[in-house]
Amino acid sequence: MQTEGLGDRILTGDRRALARAITLVESGRADHRAQATQLLSQLAKSGRQSLRIGLSGTPGVGKSTFIESFGMMLTGQGLRVAVLAVDPSSARSGGSILGDKTRMERLSRDKNAFIRPSPSQSHLGGVARRTREAIALCEAAGFDVVLIETVGVGQSETVVSELSDLFLLLLAPAGGDELQGVKRGIMEMADMILINKADGDLRATATRTCADYAGALRLLRKRPQDPPGYPRAMTVSAVEEQGLEQAWDEMQALTTWRRDNGHWTANRASQARYWFDQEVRHALLARLETPAARNEMDRLSAEVGTGAISPSEAAGRMLAALSER
């Protein structure tokens, strides 16, 4: 891949250079990895920071419509917005979220917006690193806001919240019983809950759902990174473009408070340490993912299954085989 001068072009905000660099960090080839590492080191010196907003919501809550309306509102204020996705499901299905840019037709044509579909990935560990690097590239390219979208499945919320300055939960209006549907652990990660579809017939239900979640948020343990009264639940209508500016005002108020009180810096430092730890563990376990290692694991696993050797004995042999390489 031609990467000469790519860093400089990214720093000027060149979108094609940015797209190319993201392809580079997504590549599994060793030479691409080396180029990516070099590029990221160069760009880290820019010191630019975006506001990273993580957004989680199950299919059907209107995530694409929200991102489009919210994104257009931000670009309307002169801000530059990048949209990335963390998609744990693509590992299995081979599909990707955000894959169809027509879902966000207006935003994808906006010159101040950059939308990148999620690549098909083999594992969440790899997804996290590539997304982290894509965020760094968007920051260096001068985007003011980076929206990181995920479908609420398994561990993807943890990944996105560890990549974000603000983590938003987008929910649909629902009967009171369905409040149970959001796991407590996810609630505890949220910096803001937005009840979408507060329009037409669903407006009243959305208001009730919002009050339920506001109540639930008040019952959670107080977090040091929240000023009094936060985290908040609010209603929005992505379709009617209602409540988006108020939500953005709240996000900015929260961000300003966190910056002033040292939480912004502390959070980014803590996230960096988290990703360092994850990357070391991931690399150690990646030794099992080579074709030779997989073969040996399968062979020993079959022997263990028949009872020919014990799990511990087999593990000892596998570790010996790995250290011989």
* Binding stretches for its own copies (CB under 8 A): 37, 40-41, 44, 129, 132-133, 180, 269-270, 272-273, 275-277, 279-281, 283-285, 287-288, 297, 300-301, 304-307, 310-315, 318-319, 322
Q: How far is the CB of 303 from its own copies (least distance, A)?
A: 9
Two tokens at 151? 């479908």
Q: How far apart (Å, rounded) are the C-alpha atoms in residues 136 and 1?
A: 20
Q: Distance between CA atoms of 253 and 245, rounded to whole angstroms? A: 12
What is the nearest approach in angstroms of its own copies to the Cβ of residue 134?
13
Q: 166 and 254 in contact (C-beta within 8 Å)?
A: yes
Residue placing its CB nearer to its own copies in the complex, 102 or 306: 306
CB 204 to its own copies: min, Å: 25
Joined tokens for residue 155? 């561990």
Task: State the helix-helix crossing angle for 15-26 and 124-140, rounded to 10 degrees.
Answer: 160
Round to whole Å and give the CA distance between 138 and 22. 9
Nearest CB to its own copies, comparing residues 116 and 130: 130
Least Å distance between CB 88 and its own copies?
Answer: 17
- Cα–Cα–Cα angle for 57, 62, 65, rounded to 5 degrees: 120
Nearest approach, Cβ of 229 to its own copies (angstroms)? 29
**Minimum CB distance to its own copies smaller for 94 or for 224:** 224
Give Cβ neighbours of residue 297 (< 8 Å, ≥ 6 apart): 288, 318
Between 186 and 253, CB nearer to its own copies: 186
Q: How far is the CB of 313 from its own copies (least distance, A)?
A: 7
CA distance 5 to 115: 23
Q: What is the distance between the alpha carbons of residues 267 and 17, in angstroms, rounded to a whole number?
A: 29
Q: Which helix (H) or strand (E) holds 58?
A: none
Nearer residue to its own copies within complex by CB, 186 or 297? 297
Residue closer to its own copies (CB basis): 1 or 321: 321
CB of 253 to its own copies, least distance (A): 26
Q: Identify which of residues 93 and 306 has a Cβ nearer to its own copies in the complex.
A: 306
| Sign of the torsion formed by the C-alpha atoms of 258, 261, 263 and 265 | positive
In sequence order, what DSSP letters do the residues of 254-307 get, joined into one string? HHHHHHHTTHHHHHHHHHHHHHHHHHHHHHHHGGG-SHHHHHHHHHHHHHHHHT
Closest distance to its own copies from the beta carbon of 244 (Å): 33
DSSP label at residue 222: P
Contact 58, 88 (CB under 8 A): no
Q: Report the residue number, 245 or 296, with the smaller CB distance to its own copies.
A: 296
Residue 58: name the closest of 178, 164, 204, 202 by CA.
Answer: 178
